[in-house]
Chain A
Amino acid sequence: MATPSLREALARIAGPEALASAEQLPLYSVDGVVPEAAVAPRSVEQVLSVVRLAAESRSAIVPRGGGTVIGAGMPPERHDIALETRSLDKLIFHEPADLVACAEAGMTLETLNKELAKHGQMLPLDAPNPGRATLGGVLAANTSGPRRGGYGTARDRVIGLKVVDPSGTLVKGGGRVVKNVAGYDLPKLFIGAHGTLGVIVETALKLSPLPAKTATVVGAFGKVGQALEAGLAVLDKGLRPQALSLLNGTAYRLGAKHAQMPSISDRDYFLAVEVTGVLPVVERQQTTVQRTITEAGGKAVIADDSIQQEGFWRAIVDTGRTAQHPATMITRFACRWEAIEKLVLGHEAQAESNGFEAAIEVYLGVGVGRSAWWADQRGEPDEVKLAAIVGILRKAGEISGGPFVVEVAPVGVKERVDVWGPAGGGFEVMRRLKASLDPDEIMSPGRFLGGL
């Protein structure tokens, strides 16, 4: 791509101040691939023009929000334009009595939630670094966290979406009402598409009321089986926790450190339960969870101080994603109850024998887990070893049929294993959809499953 003309054309569309300087460009690199230009359009019209320009010149675009999860995926085959949504940050409306808000995609999760909190409401989607994570990025990556058990994921929250498709056309799906079956559910296709079908520019969302009271109960166990037993018992007692997370020792202690909670160094597995509601509901659930933990052989710790709880869960969601303590590799997997113990122990065995430390969390009742990996001695992470670990754990996961995705890894790992793993059912339909919407492969080319 002829660099000066592309940059000039982008400057004509969005103004020179919307363009990153040449010195800033390395900040926009994705897996080491530095773009020719980075532009932050200030209106949907400008996004349309940028994408049209790219479509005409067959320049590859990698859309990005706050860049917090931009590492998910294979290295881009081409990266001409980094298209930042951060300047599209308006709240379009918030109607508290409808429990609905509509915002531009570049608004950060934290900004939105601060606004909603003024009216006692929230968008309960967990994402690391919410001060930088944008709505568009959270949707494109389908980011989720511990509270998905109680509140669902972006799939359950998005009621409408506006997207600039790869031809530079504005396309809308859904609407602004909470119940709507008019036409195909297009928003579902763009959620979790990692920017390969278009640029999300606006979204309408179903909100939740802020709970009157929240408490977190942590159970500490010697064996993973005990923690799982307690988790299952919590669900069987008809309790409705918003979060029910199994944590290994590393994961728990990272959270505990940030929240000044006891480190409980003599136990290796933890069950962290968040219960919400009016005071009597929280009190009874808290007592029941506590008793359940004790019955399963655990030791219960309660955090009802809201700052402590917030700090704890924030640290859990941010695990491996902070600037201070970034993980070398982060994975996400899914499995049934019966496979959880084996997968957790498998992770730990791999970590130990290869000289890594791994923080593991599994959202019980949902069956989704994640692990963050750090080399336990100073020095370069061994990419060959990490790639081998992915292969082994993926194989273990395959037995239960679940996906095993690498969300963060050095390029050296991505050169050795596919971060997405094998394609499942309907891949041919996906391929045709991509080919039809993005025939010239200009949207995040080569980054998604099977090269989508």
Chain B
Amino acid sequence: MAKAVRNRDLVDVLKTIVGDDHVLDTPEDMLVFEFDGSIEKRPPQAVVLPASAEQVSRIVRLAYEQGVPVVPRGAGTGLSGGAVAIEGGILLVMTRMNRILEVDTTNRFAVVEPGVVNQHVTQQVAEHNLMYVPDPSSQKTCTIGGNVAENSGGPHCLAYGVTTNHVLGVEVVLPDGEMVWLGGFEQDRPGYDLLGAFVGSEGTLGVATKVMVKLVPEPEAVKTLVAPFKDIDDASRAVSTIIARGIIPAALEMMDRMTIDAVGPVVRADYPPDADAVLLIEVDGPREAVDADAASVESICIELGAQEVRGAEDPKQRERLWAARKGALGALGRLAPNYYILDGVVPRTRLPEVLRRVNDICKTHGFRVSNVFHAGDGNLHPNVLFDERVEGEADRVLGVGEEIMRACVDAGGSITGEHGVGLEKKSFMRLMFTEEDLATMTKVKQAFGATENFNPCKILPTGIACGEGWKLSRLPSIPGAYL
């Protein structure tokens, strides 16, 4: 795409919109904005940090009129490349718009700016015994705007749903710069559910400038259980048995042996030495329900071969039980210089066979793999360990990723449960969707007014301008990667 504006002029205009201090254009300043949590990397022409919806609108309109690529970005914790300016252009970083504008405890919603950090919402409303549910593991840094773009999940989405189930409305700057509200507190608005289409559109249909989120009451009681299993197949079967018996825990997570070993001797000592997998289960709700569910979960786990089941209700003890899960990814760095985090979904009943398949694929290609994931949703996260310094290993690990994605789709699943398609999985979209399905998605994109320059080359594998212009770059080590 021809750049109609010279870089210098572009930067000058951007500065008139947001002020000199909020435009970055030197390579040093833009370094941290070249990549997100994914494997892609590309410097933008300029990084701009707007302070208001009006500024966003002016920037987006400028980009639209001048044919300059524009890419919205939150905290950059995304794992599929959605926030990488792969065609250069303007990187629109929303983190300065970080105010919580309104908390309505009667109607139970909050209106926040997109740059508000996920966890800050819950912190802000905790005094009213309310919370914002979706809790991606990056919740201490990721932003609500980014969560809306990616339709983020998290461990506690099993019972309560993902971001799309918790967003009531968004103020959006459309790709042509126009500002509209989609949705709002009052439900059942007549017309097409554009809010539903916008959430999870990975920043390709517009830029959220305000987000109205649902708040829900904190549960009366919470109990966390851990159940180590000698055989990972038994752990998988316990997952679908829990669901089949009508119990939907708030969270139902699994860690395999590689992961438990990685988190270190202190946590490792909590589990039997021959544990092959650990289930981490959290039940919440009214006290009596928690007691009843915890008892059922325990007996199901024992019935299916758990070595033991330990439980905790005290927040400190619960935190200890969660420590291994939350520290798992950071700990993987001890095992290998790099790891490639995959995200796929399978029906819960297919977990045992697909996990075996994942391990076989990795073994065949000579890679070690750690599995730590949202088992209750069937949302796999195999982390393939590798060393980018070894010639060809980075390319081979991508091949492993593709095989694993195929295994998920073959089992009736999806190529992504929460990390998004972005740049990373564009080429896998055809595993799930026909040309007709993809053409309909393109029509949706066009209806929102998005041109090829609005967050270009993401999600849809159909853009002819893309694909040649960029190649998979090297796989960076990802010290701060999350899932």
Contact = CB atoms under 8 A, between A and B. Distances in A.
Contacts of B161: 152, 156
Contacts of B445: 184
B165 A337 contact: no
A337 B106 contact: yes
Interface string B433-458: 11011101101111111000000000
B269 interface: no
A142 interface: yes
A240 interface: yes
A155 B434 CA distance: 23
A337 B433 contact: no
Contacts of A434: 192
A179 B157 contact: yes
Interface stretch (B14-22, B26-34, B183-191): B183-191
Contacts of B41: none
Contact of B429 (A179, A183, A452): A183
A165 B440 contact: yes
Given A177-B412, A433-B443, A425 B436 contact: no
A267 interface: no
Given A142-B188, A197-B192, A180 B444 contact: no
A424 interface: yes
Given A185-B196, A335-B186, A367-B186, A277 B153 contact: no
B444 A177 contact: no
B374 A179 contact: yes
Nearest to A370: B188
Interface string B153-182: 100010001101100000010100010111
A205 to B, nearest CB: 14
Contact of A183 (B205, B217, B459): B459
A238 interface: yes
Interface string B129-173: 100000000000000000000110100010001101100000010
A181 B200 contact: yes
9 nearest interchain CB pairs? A188-B196, A209-B246, A334-B186, A402-B186, A97-B244, A433-B447, A280-B288, A425-B181, A180-B414
Nearest to A162: B437
A182 B421 contact: yes
Contact of A99 (B180, B243, B289, B346): B243
Nearest to B445: A184
A405 B200 contact: no
10 contacts: A175-B413, A176-B412, A183-B433, A208-B248, A210-B246, A280-B288, A281-B288, A420-B191, A425-B180, A430-B191
Interface in B340-378: 345-349, 374, 377-378
A307 B382 CA distance: 49
B441 A181 contact: no
Contacts of A436: 443, 446-447
B218 interface: yes
B443 A437 contact: yes
B190 A421 contact: yes
B155 to A, nearest CB: 12
A73 B436 CA distance: 29
B436 A170 contact: yes
B66 to A, nearest CB: 22
A281 B460 CA distance: 48
Contacts of B241: 97
Contacts of A180: 345, 414, 416-417
A172 B181 CA distance: 27
A403 B188 contact: yes
Given A142-B188, A179-B153, A281-B286, A238 B348 contact: no
B292 interface: yes
A312 interface: no
Interface of B: 106-108, 129, 150-151, 153, 157, 161-162, 164-165, 172, 174, 178, 180-182, 184-197, 199-201, 205, 217-220, 240-241, 243-244, 246-248, 285-286, 288-289, 292, 345-349, 374, 377-379, 412-421, 425, 429, 432-434, 436-438, 440-441, 443-449, 459-460
Contact of A179 (B150, B417, B437, B443): B417
A368 interface: yes
B193 A405 contact: no
Contacts of B248: 99, 208-209
A184 B197 contact: yes
Given A186-B441, A197-B192, A437-B440, A278 B107 contact: no
B418 A368 contact: no
A204 to B, nearest CB: 10
A405 B190 contact: yes
Given A96-B244, A181-B420, A334-B189, 13 more contacts: A173-B440, A175-B345, A183-B433, A184-B444, A185-B196, A192-B192, A278-B292, A334-B187, A337-B106, A424-B181, A426-B172, A429-B174, A432-B446
A9 interface: no
Contacts of B417: 177, 179-181
A179 B292 contact: no
B243 A179 contact: no
B417 to A, nearest CB: 4
A193 interface: yes
A317 interface: no
B289 A188 contact: no
Nearest to A363: B187
Interface string A335-352: 111100000000000000
B347 A191 contact: no
B433 to A, nearest CB: 6
Contacts of B194: 189, 426, 429-430
Given A98-B349, A179-B378, A337-B106, A189 B196 contact: yes
Interface in A352-373: 365-368
A168 to B, nearest CB: 11
A100 interface: yes
A332 B188 CA distance: 9
Given A176-B347, A177-B378, A235-B217, A184 B441 contact: yes
A196 B119 CA distance: 40
A263 interface: no
B182 A336 contact: no
A131 interface: no
Contacts of A27: none
A376 interface: no
Q: Which of B174, B192, B193, B414 is packed against the most chain A CB atoms within 10 Å?
A: B192
Contacts of B200: 181, 184-185
B186 A449 contact: no
A178 B377 contact: yes
Contacts of A142: 188
Contacts of B345: 175, 177-180
A188 B191 CA distance: 11
Given A165-B440, A171-B436, A337-B106, A179 B162 contact: yes
A436 to B, nearest CB: 4
A95 interface: yes
A411 interface: no
Contacts of A96: 244
A32 B445 CA distance: 37
Given A185-B197, A430-B191, A156 B374 contact: no
Interface in A379-435: 400-403, 405, 420-421, 423-430, 432-434
A336 B165 contact: no
A232 interface: yes
A313 interface: no
Given A178-B377, A181-B418, A172 B433 contact: yes
A184 B201 contact: yes
Contact of A452 (B184, B192, B244, B443): B192
A452 B243 contact: no
Nearest to A403: B189
A405 B187 CA distance: 12
Contacts of B185: 334, 336, 367, 401
A336 to B, nearest CB: 5
A367 B212 CA distance: 15
